[in-house]
Structure 1
Amino acid sequence: MPMFENVRQAQDYCKNQGIRMIDFKMVDINGRWRHLTIPAERLDESTMCYGIGFDGSNYGYAPVEKSDMVFLPDLSTAHPDPFTEVPTLSISGNVRVLRDTGNEPFDQYPRNVALKAEEFMRRSGIADQMIIGPEFEFHLLDRVSYDCRPNRVSYELDTMQAEWNSGLPGANSGYHVPREGGYHICAPLDSSYDFRSKICLMLADWGIDVKYHHHEVGGPGQVEIEVELGSMTDMADKTMILKYVVRNAAVAAGKTATFMPKPIYQEAGNGMHVHMLLRKDGKPLFYDEAGYSGLSKEAHWFMGGLLMHARSLCALTNPSTNSFKRLVPGYEAPVTIGYATSNRSAVIRIPAYAKASDSKRFELRNPDATCNPYYAYAAILMAGLDGILRQTDPHEHGWGPFDCNLYQLSEEEKMGLESLPKTLSEALDALEKDHEYLTRDGVFPEPLLNAWIKNKRAEAELVEQIPHPAEIGLYYDL
């Protein structure tokens, strides 16, 4: 339930609870929160009507005729910020651009894109609600440092629970998690258990229901928090909140947290698997007892759309150069475009445990949390809807079901399989060629996609130009 239904309720709350500041959180093109703050007494009806003005040119979006924009708060997102010394109320919202005829929604703003994708879904008549549930994997570390200079390129990270610290002298407990041996490991090896429980309680206070938390496969501090299913745009809001809470709670505890897909070589990477289902008039659309793995034809068509556009989707669901260091064989990360039941080597996995009609779903396993969640979730929805509109049968296209370990196929068998992009540049190439499903009804504006591709190409070119430490070992003496 939202905290407030009107400004008067918010004003009364601030007065009664001693709230001194209102912090407005906005999303840039990459999916980072930015913020500006006003004294609590300045929150009034005019704030809700006219918004707070700011210069949007620094947020990374495509240039617009006028960069002056206004942020309109959404009181339903209000919540006390647990990390500020001065009592502060945190509020998210939407962005509008200033026009001579009045304000209009800024069509590139991430939250507006997600809302527009949901509007398209409802207008299509296919469904009225997309329900998703992300799994958040991240590393909790004791410290990190990095350096990128003309004469030195390096990074170092550490956590006491890693096996590489087993030989440290002094105050060494001797409890270290083996390489790739951390899945559901128990205390005292699971040294972040209490920390994760505290995070889950903070998330619950913020209105985010947690399904469970546990240690993940990666020995050096890899953990996971999985949340309960929720509607798409609301879950994008909650994704931003969860990352904010995890990072700030880590800093408060003298730790550091990263959602990087592959921060540690030869260890499992951090994905953000997205479970999904559609509903119409409150009824699930993905269940059919007679269908493969209990899925309806609409579910299969939706999967067909995701697989048809999987390569271009990666430019939005895996938008970092580091993303593709995770999408390699051997670490339970998908590399093959296909679907199957209980198979973690396929891009789409159908959980065998989800048998009830109202929870029948599948998960997309390639996304990671470097994505902008509003763009990523909206793109997933648009790809799936395109599959339903085109009645794209994944089996007829040769995308499965692959009820086998795809990593163990022979080289000859692998020749007939389609694979995900191996680099960010390859994913961006795919997005340039395949994006009409995103721009349908103007959900993703062309200028936004052009700006996204331009920005991400610049990132890829920067990383490609920097000499890598491994190259010194490979080529220094040649």
Structure 2
Amino acid sequence: MVTLMDKVEKITKLCQEKQVRMIDFKMTDIDGRWRHITIPVERFGVDTFTYGIGFDGSNYGYAPIEKSDMVFLPDPDTAYVDPFAEVPTLTMCGNVCTIGKGENRPFDQYPKNVSLRAVEYMKESGIADRMVIGPEFEFYLFDSARFEVTSRQCGYRINTRQADWNHSLDTPGNNGYEVPHKGGYHVAAPQDVGYDLRSRMCMMMEDWGIRVKYHHHEVGGPGQMEIEVELADMPAMADNTMIIKYIIKNLAAREGKTATFLPKPIYQEAGSGMHVHMLLLKDGQPLFYDEKGYSGLSRTAHYFIGGLLKHIASLCAFTNPSTNSFKRLVPGYEAPVTIGYATSNRSAVIRIPAYAKSPETKRFELRNPDATANPYYAYAAILMAGLDGIEKQIDPAEHGWGPYDFNLYTLSEEEQKKIKGLPKSLGEALDALEADHDYLTKGGVFPQRLIDVWVARKREEVRKLEQIPNPAEFRMYYDL
């Protein structure tokens, strides 16, 4: 059995081999951003894992000031030499505890704890013992991004030399190799100017222990990229999601570019999602496969789908938690807008890949999430919704949610009215979360306090955005 002392000695040896001078601890705030604190390697020891690193949790969005003292406990299994630090630095993720009179207690609002508790609840239910997921990471890679929001002026300007708007006589662009509007899917070099950079991103992910499936240029002409990773256990994949975004953004910055996971950074271009593939296992056996079931899926898989579709509106408050998220979820851009499921149909919110045929790979993907989500909360909420569907045996077909084996975008207006759609705004998603969150609080997975704080924070974001004049309003209404 490997003891904590063994792990400390292993890390100490690694620091000596790599000549590490600093140790960095990365924590996740409520919105899903990494924050960090760094100590000299000489201050590192067993006490670091026993007593942790103290910090003020109120600045992370979790706790009121009077209860803000917390400690971060690093996870030695996540130790890795940070490739972006000039001073040799070992970095670690971990967990957060509240400070008690006796022992410190895991902080129930901390994202990592929520994801771990969701897995514990799954095991306690007896339904499954592993949730395995694989997100697809879509993002835009720009040469520059500038934006300003003041009382005097408001606007943004992005540019990339491969964009179609640089295809003019007076603009120094990509020497005739610009990518057409919505024409970027799988384009090759020289149009694909981000090709080598994506490869370096993927190699860095592999070095960090994240298995990459493939990468390619996506539909968005002005630099939309995708990197897809192999499936892994849910809590570990939440950690990996943070690492992947860190690598993509920092490597882009190192090479003089900028990467964004904003769901809809460009008007009338393809939006960026984070489709999540998923399956459940118990005692090493896949639970989603049945050769005789629709598209090879078992009843358990159908019930899981039923739970997702039943709670999809409230799920959006965690899987699509920005006002920009809903600018992506509109018809005509391969983004889901309807509540339903189907095989190989990208217009449904749940798609069953036809190529995944074996029992070990049989799965489906949820297509509405995007990477503005806090991955720990989003993945945990997805699991809890699916488990609720299994526990209550919610059959999606009986509820009229499909299967929709046809293009939902081409239905007549009368037929479209019969099909329920996703929320059209963050406000609608928050309304749904307030009305439908019992499935999240079961087993103490999502504390009620967390949901209350989340809704309040997001309502404030909506209120603030609604008060800021939009540049497009000047064009539409200035002369009235």
Normalising by the smaller structure, the TM-score range is over 0.9
Structure 2 CA distance for partners of 1:393 and 1:171, relative to 1, 3 Å: closer
AA partner of residue 76 (structure 2) = L
Distance 1:335 1:171 in 2: 35
Give the Cα separation in 2 of the matches to 1:415 and 1:163: 36
Contact 1:5 1:76 survives alignment (8 Å):
no
CA 1:4–1:329 in structure 2 vs 1: closer, same or farther (change >3 Å)?
A: farther
Q: Which residue of 1 aligns with 2:55?
A: 54
| 8 Å Cα contact 1:62/1:448 also seen in 2 | no
CA distance in 1, matches of 2:414, 2:18: 67
The residue that corresponds to 1:334 in the other structure is 336
Write the letter of the residue equivalent to 2:37: L
Report the counterpart of residue 348 of structure 1 in structure 2.
Answer: 350
Give the letter for the 1:206 counterpart.
W
Separation of aligned partners in 2, 1:156 and 1:4: 52
Within 2, Cα distance between the matches of 1:277 and 1:169?
A: 49
SS in 1 for 2:360: helix
Query: Residue 217 of structure 2 aligns to which amino acid in structure 1?
Result: H
Further displaced range: 427-436 or 463-472 = 463-472
Aligned to 1:449: 451
Q: State the partner residue of 1:6.
A: 7
Amino acid in structure 1 at the alignment position of 2:144: R
Report the number of matched residues: 477
> Which residue of structure 2 lines up, in the alignment, with residue 195 of structure 1?
197
- Does residue 152 of structure 2 align to residue 142 of structure 1? no
Over 3 Å off, 4+ runs: 168-172
Give the % identical residues. Answer: 66
What letter is aligned with 1:267? E
Q: 1:417 to 1:4 in 2, by over 3 A?
A: farther
Deviation at 1:17, TM superposition (A): 1.4
Structure 1 distance, partners of 2:101, 2:419, is: 54
- Among 316, 319, 324, the residue aligned to 1:317: 319
Q: Which amino acid aligns with 1:340?
A: A
**What CA deviation, in whole Å up to 9, does each residue of 1:416-448 have, x standing for no partner?**
111100000010000000000000011000111
State the distance in 2 between where 1:212 and 1:320 align: 28
1:230 alignment partner in structure 2: 232
Tell me, in whole angstroms, the C-alpha distance in 2 between the residues paired with 1:240 and 1:406: 33
Cα distance change of structure 1 residues 59 and 225 upon mapping to structure 2, 3 Å threshold: same
Q: CA deviation at 1:42?
A: 1.3
Q: Tell me how far apart the structure 1 counterparts of residues 87 and 257 of structure 2 sit (CA, whole Å).
A: 23
Is 1:30 paired with 2:31? yes
| Contact kept in structure 1, 2:49 and 2:74, CA below 8 Å | yes
Q: 1:153 Cα shift?
A: 1.1
Structure 1: any 5+ residue segments left out of the alignment? none
Q: Shift in Å at residue 415 of structure 1? A: 1.1
Match in the other structure for 1:368:
370
What's the counterpart of residue 250 of structure 1?
252
Offset, 1:64:
7.5
- Check the 8 A contact 2:352/2:364 in 1, yes or no: yes
Greater alpha carbon shift after TM alignment, 414-423 vs 161-170: 161-170
CA distance, structure 2, for counterparts of residue 170 and residue 408 of structure 1: 39
State whether structure 2 residue 359 is matched by structure 1 residue 357: yes
- 8 Å contact 1:25–1:34 — kept in the other structure? yes
In the alignment, does 2:180 pair up with 1:178?
A: yes
Pick aligned residue for 2:306 from 304, 307, 311: 304
- For the structure 1 residues 169 and 368, does the alpha-carbon distance in structure 2 shift closer, same or farther, using more than 3 Å as the test? closer
- CA–CA distance in structure 1, aligned partners of residues 245 and 211 of structure 2: 14
1:409 matches 2:411: yes
Give distance in 1, aligned partners of 2:198 and 2:174. Answer: 23
In structure 2, what residue type is equivalent to 1:142?
D
* Partner residue, 2:269: 267
Structure 1, residues 209-264: CA drift from partner, whole Å, max 9, x if none? 00000000000000000000000000000000000000000000000000000000
Quote the Cα distance in structure 2 between the aligned partners of 1:258 and 1:171.
21
Q: How does 1:110-125 map to 2 (within 5 A)?
A: 110-125=111-126
The question of whether the paired residues in 1 share the 8 Å contact of 2:5 and 2:46 is answered with no
Measure how far apart 1:12 and its partner are.
1.4
Maintained 8 Å contact 1:338/1:399: yes
Partners of 2:29 and 2:439 in 1: CA distance: 23
Structure 2: distance between partners of 1:325 and 1:169: 29
Q: Tell me by how many angstroms 1:67 deviates.
A: 1.2
What TM-score does the superposition give when structure 1 sets the normalisation length? 0.98
Aligned residue type for 2:375: P
Question: Is the 2:80–2:91 contact (alpha carbons within 8 Å) kept by the matching residues of 1?
Answer: yes
Q: Could you tell me which residue of structure 2 aligns to residue 294 of structure 1?
A: 296
Q: Is the 8 A contact 1:23 1:91 kept in 2?
A: yes
C-alpha distance in structure 2 between counterparts of 1:361 and 1:4, whole Å: 40
**8 Å CA contact retained: 1:295, 1:360:** yes
Name which of 418, 421, 430 aligns with 1:419.
Answer: 421
